[in-house]
């Protein structure tokens, strides 16, 4: 009864408020309308700021003035440049390329089998850390981690004499609470850094800056190792002792899971072996391109040491395409899920079909970002916001911690990581650049906040599915029960994530290859003459 009251109270309010929000696509369209009106008002009042890196021909600072979206020039740009506004949206190319390979790896069964193989033979006392580790690594598999690993964890816990709800909680905390934590960059890195690239381009603060999808590699790897003991502690010390004694009534839950706990077949084991060899071959190929004759992925003429590796960083999107494609094909050919090249093509086409909604969202987001750029409001907000924050005297780690908390709060109502970042990046990225924080560090701070509250909002798209998994084992397990179970994870992961962000800045650690915390604006240059 108490759970029902809680669900109707605060949680019910969150659910009702979130359900009243329009689809994220239409959120962008509404924002475009608000932007158009706001830009006209700002332009009418002469809203402006001084550009921090560009000078007029006489050496005086360049004035950035707000421009109305309703001006003839911007109306013309909207209709004439609509195709390139969409197709030149940086995240679009990154995601489409990576997903061509990831679609084969997922549909061939590689991701699902690899997760099963990783957790099913784990010792009882190591079950939680193994499940949490595989869950966070399973983010590379996107949807498959939710659909395969979470119900499988429940079965494994039950078989080990432990409460299956604890297994569901540990897996859910890893897959969703540790959404960005991983040993390898993947689809999410390509998506978010594409949006970061668009934000930097729109700001005009650093022409020529290029996103590196490995720019958070060290950071997200550290997240995995810091989040792992947190999930282990919360599961075994806080959550499982609070759950009622488990006694499976009739084994029906096991039947509902199907063969998730079944031993790997000879074909599946063979497929995993072939996939491993394929992965080694791709890594060897990239090492050859980097250090072999001609060093095509090294810029030997670069004056700065970090810039020598720029071609390598830019090639990582293609590297993940080839890696996922080769491993998925090798697995499928050995396991029997791929009979020939036509199956591979169908899987790649299916992956593109799954991105249909994302394409619609990208169309709306691309135009919002572009029009925000045309209005000059993003850069003006960034300049004035940076001045206000600088005058506030807040230390840099505190500012990044605020970004973590802000992203975590918004995540309670808008679940899409890309939708939120497309909204926030055009202001946050240039503002933090003006304060001496790199785009990579701002992106990393956002990722922490975006992850830790996924597991406590009913508006997260997989929340109802996880609730269904839990109800297979305990029919009275309701919305309030799941939220109350996951809340300690969210709180501890939040504290850990904020602490990690503080430590990263204080220690000035690299975020990834060639990516650092600090950022220095380029030397001011004379503004080009507008024809």
Q: Going residue by residue through the chain (531 aa), what tens digit of pLDDT does each one get? A: 333 333 455 544 554 555 566 776 887 788 899 999 999 999 999 988 877 656 777 777 788 889 999 999 999 999 999 999 998 876 677 778 878 888 898 889 887 788 777 776 677 778 899 999 988 987 776 566 676 678 778 877 877 778 889 999 999 999 888 888 999 887 788 778 888 988 888 777 888 888 888 889 999 999 999 999 999 999 999 888 888 766 654 444 444 444 455 678 899 999 999 999 999 999 999 999 988 887 788 877 765 555 566 687 678 778 888 988 999 999 999 999 999 999 999 999 998 887 787 788 788 888 887 898 788 887 787 677 667 766 777 788 888 888 888 888 877 766 667 767 876 788 888 888 888 899 999 999 999 988 888 888 765 667 767 877 788 788 777 767 788 888 889 999 999 999 999 999 999 999 998 889 988 877 665 555 444
Residue whose tokens read 């940076």: 386
Nearest residue to 66 (alpha-carbon basis) of 43, 95, 94, 87: 43
* Owning domain of residue 493: 2-526
Does 451 map to a domain? yes
Q: What is the pLDDT of residue 302?
A: 62
Burial (0-12, 13-18, 19+ Cβ within 10 Å), 325: buried
Is 531 contained in some domain?
Answer: no
In angstroms, rounded to a whole number, what is the distance separating the alpha carbons of residues 177 and 169? 10
| Residue 105 belongs to a domain | yes
> Distance of CA 427 to CAs 240, 257, 379, Å?
42, 45, 7
The kind and range of the H/E element at 50 are strand 48-55
Kindly list the distances between the CA atom of residue 331 and the CA atoms of 107, 108, 269, 272, 469, in Å, as whole numbers in the listed order. Answer: 11, 7, 9, 6, 28
Q: What is the dihedral angle through the alpha carbons of 90, 187, 464, 231, rounded to the nearest 10 degrees?
A: -130
Residue 298 corresponds to which tokens in the numbers above?
């090294």
Distance from the Cα of residue 72 to its chain's centroid: 37
Q: How many helices (H) and strands (E) does the chain have?
A: 26, 3
* Contact criterion met (CB below 8 Å) for 171 and 149: yes
Asked, for residue 115, whether it belongs to a domain, the answer is yes
**For residue 383, what pLDDT is reported?**
73
What is the total count of domains within the chain? 1
Domain presence at residue 214: yes
Contacts of 8 (CB under 8 A, 6+ apart): none
**Residue partners of 285: CB distance under 8 A and separation at least 6:** 322
Tokens standing for residue 79: 């209709």
Question: For residue 66, is it within any domain?
Answer: yes
DSSP for 52-99 reads EEEE-TTSSEEEEE---TTSHHHHHHHHHSHHHHHHT-HHHHHHHHHH
Q: How far is CA 500 from the centre of its chain?
A: 18
Q: Give me the pLDDT at residue 253, please.
A: 44
Q: Is residue 319 in a domain?
A: yes
Residue 95 neighbours by CB under 8 Å, 6+ apart: 187, 190, 191, 194, 355, 358
Task: Compute the residue count for the chain.
Answer: 531
Distance CA 179, CA 493 (A): 11
> 316-335 and 266-291 are packed helices; what angle lies between their axes, rounded to 10 degrees?
150
Report which of 400, 406, 402, 407 is spatially closest to residue 437, judged by C-alpha positions. 400
| 3-state SS assignment for residue 215 | coil
Do 299 and 288 contact (CB within 8 A), yes or no? no
Please give the Cα distance from 348 to 353 (Å, whole number): 9
Structural domain contains residue 486:
yes
Closest CA to 95 of 25, 195, 179: 195
Q: Which residues contact 144 (CB under 8 A, 6 or more apart)?
A: 106, 111, 112, 115, 138
How, if at all, do strands 48-55 and 525-526 pair? parallel
| pLDDT score for 15 | 45
Q: Determine the distance from the C-alpha atom of residue 477 to the mean position of all C-alpha atoms in its chain, rounded to a whole number.
A: 29
* Cα distances (Å, whole numbers) of residue 166 to 114, 172, 470, 474: 22, 10, 10, 12
């Amino acid at each position: 009864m108490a759970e029902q009251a809680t669900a109707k109270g605060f949680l019910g309010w969150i659910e009702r408020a979130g359900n009243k929000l329009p689809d994220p696509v239409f959120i962008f369209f509404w924002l475009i309308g608000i932007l158009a009106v706001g830009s006209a008002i700002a332009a009418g009042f002469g809203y402006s700021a001084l550009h921090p890196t560009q000078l007029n021909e006489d050496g005086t600072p360049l004035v950035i003035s707000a421009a109305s979206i309703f001006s003839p020039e911007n109306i013309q740009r909207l209709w004439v440049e609509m195709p390139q506004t969409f197709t030149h949206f940086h995240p679009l190319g990154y995601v489409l390329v990576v997903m061509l390979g990831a679609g084969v790896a997922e549909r061939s069964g590689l991701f699902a089998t690899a997760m099963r193989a990783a957790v099913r033979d784990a010792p009882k006392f190591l079950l939680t850390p193994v499940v949490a580790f595989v869950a966070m690594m399973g983010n590379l598999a996107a949807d498959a981690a939710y659909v395969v690993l979470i119900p499988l964890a429940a079965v494994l816990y039950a078989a080990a004499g432990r409460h299956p709800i604890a297994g569901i909680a540990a897996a859910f905390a890893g897959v969703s609470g540790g959404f960005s934590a991983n040993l390898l960059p993947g689809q999410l890195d390509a998506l978010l850094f594409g949006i970061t690239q668009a934000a930097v381009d729109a700001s005009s603060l650093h022409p020529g800056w290029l996103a590196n999808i490995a720019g958070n590699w060290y950071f997200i790897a550290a997240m995995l190792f810091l989040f792992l003991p947190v999930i282990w502690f919360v599961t075994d010390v806080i959550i499982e002792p609070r759950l009622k004694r488990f006694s499976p009534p009739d084994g029906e839950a096991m039947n509902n899971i199907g063969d998730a706990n079944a031993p790997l077949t000879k074909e599946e084991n063979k497929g995993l072996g072939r996939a491993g060899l394929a992965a080694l071959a791709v890594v060897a190929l990239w090492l050859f391109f980097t250090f072999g004759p001609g060093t095509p992925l090294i810029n030997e003429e670069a004056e700065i040491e970090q810039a020598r590796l720029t071609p390598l960083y830019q090639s990582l999107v293609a590297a993940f395409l080839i890696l996922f494609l080769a491993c998925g094909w090798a697995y499928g050919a050995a396991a029997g899920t791929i009979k020939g090249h036509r199956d591979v093509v169908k899987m790649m086409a299916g992956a593109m079909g799954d991105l249909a909604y994302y394409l619609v969202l990208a169309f709306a987001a691309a135009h919002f970002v572009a029009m925000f750029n045309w209005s000059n409001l993003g850069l003006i907000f960034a300049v004035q916001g940076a001045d206000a924050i600088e005058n506030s005297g807040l230390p840099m780690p505190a500012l990044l911690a605020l970004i973590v908390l802000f992203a975590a709060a918004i995540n309670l109502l808008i679940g899409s990581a890309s939708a939120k970042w497309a909204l926030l990046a055009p202001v946050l990225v240039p503002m933090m650049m003006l304060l001496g924080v790199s785009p990579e560090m701002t992106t990393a701070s956002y990722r922490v906040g975006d992850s830790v509250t996924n597991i406590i909002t009913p508006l997260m798209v997989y929340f109802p599915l996880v609730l269904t998994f839990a109800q297979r084992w305990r029919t009275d397990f309701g919305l309030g029960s799941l939220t109350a179970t996951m809340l300690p994870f969210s709180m501890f992961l939040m504290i850990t994530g904020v602490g990690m962000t503080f430590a990263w800045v204080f220690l000035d650690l690299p975020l990834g290859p060639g990516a650092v915390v600090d950022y220095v604006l380029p030397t001011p240059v004379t503004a080009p003459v507008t024809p």
